[in-house]
Copies of this chain bind each other. A is one copy, B any other.
Amino acid sequence: VSFQNATTATQDHDGRWTGEIHDGWDIGGNANGGYLLAVTGRAMAMAADQPDVATITAHFLRPGPAGQVSIQTEIAKQGRRFSTVQATMSREKSILTSLGAFTDHAANPDDRSFMSQNAPDWGDPLDQPRIEGTDTFPPPIVDRVDVRLHPDDNFYLGPSGVPRMRGWIRLLDDEPWDSIGLLLASDVFPPTIFNADFGVAWVPTIELTVHVRNRPAPGWLRCEFTSRFVTGGFVEEDGLMWDSDGALVAQSRQISLLPRPQS
């Protein structure tokens, strides 16, 4: 099943969609948050009648095991350049609730730009091992994509000590990216804190926001996730995503709960 097919819901009637959380996009039986947002976001983009995400926010309410879900969408405002949509994915109870603005990035002006940094050059991703999924750890979802870690951030070989996770990701079978794919990419890499001193345990995300800045070219994305502050039991994770042409395609930020120490 392609990523496109694994994230496409069908419209039952205005504002009501039936989707499916496909098997294998999970971490210990519950679908990855970026994948859940991609399923929801694709229905939202269709409701908005726009091809691209401008910005989307998800709040993760309950785990999402594989199976059928319903998605309710409501247009908050249909504008010329942006359409704003609210959505909730549920199965009996709410799994995820989202708010997003959708646009057509091909029609947005790109005559003035300022880049404080350019796309990083970390060498060839094929020089790094592909992370392979297991039933537990690494989780099944990494088999649905091709993820390679920057050699200095490969915590499987030992944590770097820096709460940062850099690497590459591509879809399988050379499937091209679209802006919905960036929602997946924003949440598939291992948590930054696996490279720091906070233990390797499930990190529950409260909220994730992704700004899509350009429509991504096919091929490898270069991604960098960094955490700067752990306080009040929270940790944020900031992401930058660059496409194979070196364009900045997305910025992400999520706020998560720090895992409690294992007793």
Point out residues on A near B: beta carbons under 8 Å.
54-55, 57, 59, 61-62, 76-77, 82, 84, 86, 88, 94, 97-99, 101, 105, 108-110, 112-117, 163, 196, 198, 206-207, 209, 211, 213-214, 227-236, 247-248, 251, 253, 255, 258
Is the CB–CB distance between A234 and B258 below 8 Å?
Answer: no
- Alpha-carbon gap, A231 to B245, bound state (A): 14
Contacts of A105 in B (CB 8 A): 232
Contacts of A232 in B (CB 8 A): 105, 108-110, 213-214
Copy number in the complex reads 2
Is the CB–CB distance between B88 and A61 below 8 Å?
Answer: no
The answer to whether A211 and B255 touch (CB under 8 A), given A114-B196, A114-B230, is: yes
Closest B residue to A82 using CB positions: B206
Is the CB–CB distance between B61 and A76 below 8 Å?
Answer: yes
Further contacts, 8 of them, CB under 8 A, given A108-B232, A115-B230, A207-B209: A77-B94, A82-B206, A110-B233, A113-B231, A114-B163, A115-B228, A209-B209, A231-B248
Contacts of A229 in B (CB 8 A): 113-116, 213, 248, 251
Contacts of A196 in B (CB 8 A): 114
